[in-house]
Chain A
Amino acid sequence: QKEVEQDPGPLSVPEGAIVSLNCTYSNSAFQYFMWYRQYSRKGPELLMYTYSSGNKEDGRFTAQVDKSSKYISLFIRDSQPSDSATYLCAMRLNNDMRFGAGTRLTVKP
């Protein structure tokens, strides 16, 4: 079992849809949780960074952490074609940082 599991997709939605991306993890010691967006042939770009269980909102993006279930989610409201990218979840304990494999999202106009 991988330490971080993420459905690779691909996920295709129409413009304006609500997108839900998810990761599960096995190491309950992880304390910090991140979502990165990666466009083709670019480096990962930090989208959201959270510490505690609960929700964190930033514009159209909401990150949700459930430590008891070891489950994190990223919601994208009013999705746009420019949101088409690979979304990577990541989690960290001190200097140990692990990434999911990424979910490829396509938002169709």
Chain B
Amino acid sequence: DTGVSQDPRHKITKRGQNVTFRCDPISEHNRLYWYRQTLGQGPEFLTYFQNEAQLEKSRLLSDRFSAERPKGSFSTLEIQRTEQGDSAMYLCASSLLQGNSPLHFGNGTRLTVT
């Protein structure tokens, strides 16, 4: 399977704990995006990388959230001191470098904060 891969698929954590998600993009894709999706809503943009550089962050990305893409390949999204409002599906997507190439999504990590 050469699509976008995300791990884990599900994560249940207690409020206040830290969690980390991983995304492996399509290998030839330079751009990598993180989105959050809640029930009944479309995906909301969090941040994106071009190679290893984080070029844009949404105001939704509070200081408890940090994303990295150290070698321009896989990426991690960490949430510190999780809150119940962080419960959502976290989606990773990747695209080619060309400005308006379509995004290809992974199957997401579903986070439940109890």
Residues on A close to B: CB < 8 A? 4, 6, 8, 31-32, 34, 36, 41-46, 49, 51, 88, 90, 92, 94-95, 97-102
Give the complex CA separation of A92 and B56 in angstroms. Answer: 15
Residues 35-60 of B, flagged 1 when their CB comes within 8 A of A and 0 if not, give 00000111111001000000110000
| CB within 8 Å for A94 and B42 given contacts A42-B107, A43-B105, A43-B108 | no
Which residues from chain A contact B25 at a C-beta distance below 8 Å?
A: none
> Is there a chain A Cβ closer than 8 Å to B110's Cβ?
yes
Residues on B close to A: CB < 8 A? 4, 6, 40-45, 48, 55-56, 91, 93, 99-100, 102-108, 110
A30 CB to nearest chain B CB (Å) = 10
The 5 A-B pairs of least Cβ separation, nearest first, read A99-B42, A43-B105, A43-B107, A32-B100, A49-B102
A97 engages B45 (CB within 8 Å): yes
B56 engages A95 (CB within 8 Å): yes
7 further interface pairs, Cβ-Cβ under 8 Å (given A41-B110, A46-B102, A88-B43): A42-B107, A43-B93, A43-B107, A88-B42, A92-B100, A94-B99, A101-B40
Which residues from chain B contact A46 at a C-beta distance below 8 Å?
A: 102-105
Which residues from chain A contact B103 at a C-beta distance below 8 Å?
A: 46, 97
A94 engages B100 (CB within 8 Å): yes
A/B pair count, beta carbons within 8 Å: 53
Residue of A nearest to B50 (CB): A95
Which residues from chain B contact A41 at a C-beta distance below 8 Å?
A: 107, 110
Give the complex CA separation of A98 and B41 in angstroms. Answer: 11
Give the complex CA separation of A46 and B104 in angstroms. Answer: 7
Which residues from chain B contact A31 at a C-beta distance below 8 Å?
A: 100
Which residues from chain B contact A101 at a C-beta distance below 8 Å?
A: 40-42
Give the complex CA separation of A77 and B113 in angstroms. Answer: 41
Which residues from chain A contact B102 at a C-beta distance below 8 Å?
A: 32, 34, 46, 49
Give the complex CA separation of A4 and B44 in angstroms. Answer: 12
Which residues from chain A contact B99 at a C-beta distance below 8 Å?
A: 94-95
Give the complex CA separation of A34 and B95 in angstroms. Answer: 14
Which residues from chain B contact A42 at a C-beta distance below 8 Å?
A: 107-108
